[in-house]
Structure 1
């Protein structure tokens, strides 16, 4: 067990020893000139893995989403997407600043946190009336920021609607391999229902930095230009692509274990006083729960856990806590979190 156990996010994973060695030994070149062999290998492997023609290495997931949007849409276009998705909630309003695009958000609270084809079609601008913006893109998050996985049939239905109106679909697939693990399919079976995909190498896969955009050769060629405009042209970046290759080739194999341990934790948390959690349908490596006792303050709980060598995110404005597992959290770590929470909460029992 490390000095601290970190449940705040799966972005906290550190490079494996094999990754550090690969970084030291990486063959590099100037990627802006397109001659870094390690980057080329990573991009070709990612494209093959997702069943697309080409891929592009980018600095981060947010960068990848925004680069994709910037490549797909024109100024003033409208993007249809879920109201709780990462692009809306956690990317600093970048689509409005970088692409001058308008976000048309769909409330998914009544549809299990997932978009439906019917909802998407209802918001598509179907006429060219002068007062309307043009629907320039549909964006789907697979899995969602709330830990839900789209069934393949739903993705297929949304994609068919998009094709009907000649609109492109971008997928924020930051954790696409977690979704593939849950659905028991290859990632390419998910990616075939979109025109571009962003996937993260640093979310639970232990790579220190980096994401990829995947799509057609034409799209990636345009996205390369967009990346340069956005300041993402990198030089001897093979030192980062090398661990990215190991992330895709090796670390994706461990995601099933991440799911197993989060389910184990959820079942244990359900037995604690004041804790409300739904453990009936956990689909990826995250759970959400609330503590129904006004005496228990989020900051105090976080500080107590920190004193016991546990890094833990505070409650949201709605009083909801999130826990995420990753490669460095296994049974002993989640059991330690459970026991520590149990001790703390017991202090508030009458």
Structure 2
């Protein structure tokens, strides 16, 4: 029995989700004639109280489309130094939109209104890029699943309004934040110009993300998605998985959060662990003592059929998810507690 804690992207559709997919009504989504895709888009838009939504094959494409919609070549986007759009989207900000990222040094991937204010370019100073957009990530991936407080998000929005900036949310794991903080998605819809949400991480769908915004933004996004090669035909089979996930798998994220916290609590008691970062959702980041060889430690876990990932700079990561069952969790807790280094 292999226990994969590398990411929450490793989940596979449940039998119930597969049945829903097989029974989906489909059409040609390029002509907007796939009823299940249309249903998913309307459902997500309604959840956030926003005007329209668009289904994408990936979160990266959804984020990159939002950037292309909101900016022109030569503009800049303010984001944290650990942002997914900067670190893990293949340089798409520059390649796809011709814009640059102005990085700020936040706390666990989270930025503040003061940080945003401090780096906004004077629009009259034409030697500098024109600041056009602020992008935040919630939860933060490299920040260990950290969640923004709603008041902080609203304060950043005020800075955006005062400086005529677009406000985008990379909400790949926003579902986790909504559950952990007991927040209303419609609050997010009132704050952000566009939001991307992922269906294929904690919610367990095999593929797919959704971009949400105004009708004007989504109409523009349809053209950009085509440009990026993201049009799909009978995508309703995939959209059906997303609908099932939204109906059945949001609240169960509490289980993933509990398991991650229990892993973190155990690691804090072990002699070979140097530091465990705060655990708010389903991502757990920890560091080994300096005398412990990281590669040998990971190989030791692999021999016990436990797979985790290295984030570099001495940080190791475990991510709990739908396919990490209770029996696996009990096994991992026991295996970790018995390791002596």
C-alpha displacement of 1:190: 2.7
C-alpha displacement of 1:303: 2.4
Structure 2 match to 1:173: 171
Structure 1 match to 2:114: 118
Whole-Å separation in 2 of the counterparts to 1:331 and 1:275:
24
Whole-Å separation in 1 of the counterparts to 2:123 and 2:298:
52
Structure 2 match to 1:284: 281
Structure 1 match to 2:208: 210
- TM-score, scaled to structure 2: 0.96
C-alpha displacement of 1:88: 1.2
C-alpha displacement of 1:269: 1.4
**Count, aligned residues:** 339
Whole-Å separation in 2 of the counterparts to 1:191 and 1:265:
33
Does 1:129 pair with 2:129? no
Structure 2 match to 1:298: 294
Structure 1 match to 2:147: 149
Whole-Å separation in 1 of the counterparts to 2:220 and 2:203:
28
Structure 2 match to 1:76: 74
Counterpart of 2:306 (choices 283, 305, 310) is 310
C-alpha displacement of 1:272: 1.3
Deviation beyond 6 Å, 4+ runs, structure 1: none
CA contact (8 A) 2:261 2:280 kept: no
Whole-Å separation in 2 of the counterparts to 1:237 and 1:326:
25
Structure 2: 5+ residue runs without aligned partners? none
- CA shift digits 1:162-182 (9 cap, x unpaired): 111211111000011111111
CA contact (8 A) 2:75 2:130 kept: yes
Whole-Å separation in 1 of the counterparts to 2:326 and 2:239:
31
What SS is found at the alignment partner of 1:137? strand
Structure 2 match to 1:239: 237
CA RMSD of aligned residues (A): 1.4
Whole-Å separation in 1 of the counterparts to 2:37 and 2:6:
30
Superposition map of 1:323-334 within 5 A: 323-334=318-329
C-alpha displacement of 1:293: 4.1
What SS is found at the alignment partner of 2:250? helix
Structure 1: 5+ residue runs without aligned partners? none
Whole-Å separation in 1 of the counterparts to 2:126 and 2:23:
58
Whole-Å separation in 1 of the counterparts to 2:75 and 2:179:
34
Structure 2 match to 1:162: 160
- CA shift digits 1:176-214 (9 cap, x unpaired): 111111111122223322100010000111100010000
CA contact (8 A) 1:180 1:190 kept: no
Structure 2 match to 1:343: 338
C-alpha displacement of 1:300: 2.3
